[in-house]
């Protein structure tokens, strides 16, 4: 497994060690904005078939690396594999996003949830990780990922995407003890899942807390931050003689960065609503920071995109500990050349912040 890593900028920056330039990758970098992705998905028949086929998942994971000088690959999969393996029945409706056939509506439903055996029931995920590592052959590190317990729970209780989160927030107010038990359950399964990815070869981990930002501060601590902290305690943190850094990304989490930095993670993912220089002053040298270009900026001209990149690099300032990324996933209508302009600007403009 341990083919020598040729580009370890990402792993170094996540640990705030010196690098020659700021590393860059994009959330959803393997996705619908790439025509080659759409062609592979067509061949697979559906998104779910694509992610469950380790050879095809490997193929699309590598597609953005063939186009752009990215410093990381991210496993092609989805956060909703775990609830699917718990028997909830994942499917996608065009234009509406993910749905579940069965939802969690009561304390009894929570207690009846199984703890899936990862190699038996989600074996296609570690298998994809093994194939991707082999295909990468040390070019760049591979990031594994999972959703946070809170974010997975929103889909499991709401049955799909939601605007107001009425059911799960109702549960948080009315029956918090049942929600705590759902979190306990998800902490165990997500820890198993991420450790299986790490054993299979994932070299860094990102936890996507896409919906943590909709909570009150008290509920954020109880139902999002605290369960994520317990996952961090359960994870394998060293593999093949190297630390496996963990990135916590709560979208809408900027009010809570100081608390997030205390969880034992190595880096925080920032959305675009916070100034990265200000975030750096707030967290000090506790953690690295990843982000945070507004994904909508990629609709602008390449010249304007370069200015926007320059602004973020300058706001973070000198020294290591910054991983350039978008503040959320790249959206399907973005021309690939615009993503290329962003990446190129990071490559050209960031070395000046890493001298001396």
Give the annotated binding-site residues for substrate.
Answer: 28-32, 78, 155, 210, 328
CB 111 to ligand CP3: min, Å: 25
Cα angle value 265/269/272 (rounded, 5°): 155
The candidate with the shortest Cα–Cα distance to 47, out of 91, 4, 12, is 91
As measured in angstroms, the least distance from the Cβ of 117 to ligand CP3 is 22
Spell out a b/e string for 135-162, using b for 16 or more CB atoms within 10 Å of the CB, else e: bbeebbbbbbbbbbbbbbbbbbbbbbeb
Nearest distance from residue 356's CB to ligand CP3, in Å? 34
* Cβ closest to ligand CP3, residue 54 vs residue 147: 147
Burial of 171 by CB count in 10 Å (0-12 exposed, 13-18 middle, 19+ buried)?
buried
Do 52 and 90 contact (CB within 8 A), yes or no? no
Which parts of this chain interact with ligand CP3 (CB under 6 A)? 27-32, 41, 47, 74, 76, 78-80, 97-98, 145, 147, 208, 210, 251, 328-329
Nearer CB in complex with ligand CP3: 70/232: 70
- Give residue number: closest CB to ligand CP3: 210
CB of 208 to ligand CP3, least distance (A): 4
State the distance between the two ends of the chain, measured CA to CA, in whole angstroms: 35
List active site positions.
28, 32, 41, 78, 155
Residues with Cβ within 8 Å of 253's Cβ and at least 6 positions away in sequence, in order, are: 209, 212, 213, 220, 260, 268, 271
Choose among 262, 204, 193, 277: nearest CA to 234: 193
Please, which residues bridge with residue 74 across strands? 143
CB of 79 to ligand CP3, least distance (A): 4
């Amino acid at each position: 497994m341990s083919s020598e890593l040729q580009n370890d900028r990402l792993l170094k920056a996540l640990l705030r060690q010196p690098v020659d330039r700021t590393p860059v990758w994009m959330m959803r970098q393997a996705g619908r904005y790439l025509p080659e992705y759409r062609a592979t998905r067509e061949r697979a028949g559906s998104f779910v078939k694509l992610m469950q086929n380790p050879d095809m998942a490997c193929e699309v994971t590598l597609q953005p690396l063939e186009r752009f000088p990215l410093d990381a690959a991210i496993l092609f999969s989805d956060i909703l594999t775990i609830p699917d393996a718990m028997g909830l029945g994942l499917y996608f409706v065009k234009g509406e996003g993910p749905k579940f056939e069965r939802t969690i509506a009561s304390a009894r439903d929570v207690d009846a949830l199984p703890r899936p055996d990862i190699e038996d029931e989600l074996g296609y995920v570690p298998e994809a990780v093994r194939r991707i590592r082999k295909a990468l052959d040390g070019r760049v590190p591979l990031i594994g990922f999972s959703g946070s317990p809170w974010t997975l729970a929103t889909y499991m209780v709401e049955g799909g995407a939601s605007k107001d989160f009425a059911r799960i927030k109702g549960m948080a107010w009315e029956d918090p003890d049942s929600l705590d038990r759902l979190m306990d359950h998800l902490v165990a399964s997500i820890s198993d899942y991420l450790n299986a990815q790490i054993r299979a070869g994932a070299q860094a981990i990102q936890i996507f807390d896409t919906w943590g930002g909709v909570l009150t501060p008290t509920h954020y601590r109880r139902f999002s931050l605290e369960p994520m902290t317990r996952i961090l305690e359960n994870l394998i943190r060293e593999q093949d003689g190297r630390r496996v850094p963990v990135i916590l990304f709560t979208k809408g989490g900027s009010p809570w960065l100081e608390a997030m930095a205390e969880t034992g993670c190595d880096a925080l993912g920032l959305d675009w609503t916070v100034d990265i220089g200000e975030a750096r002053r707030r967290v000090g040298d506790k953690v690295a920071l990843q982000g945070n270009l507004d994904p909508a900026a990629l609709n602008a001209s390449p010249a304007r995109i370069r200015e926007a990149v320059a602004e973020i690099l300058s706001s973070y300032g000198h020294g290591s500990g910054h991983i350039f990324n978008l503040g959320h996933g790249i959206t399907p209508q973005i021309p690939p050349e615009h993503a290329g302009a962003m990446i190129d600007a990071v490559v050209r403009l960031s070395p000046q912040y890493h001298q001396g």
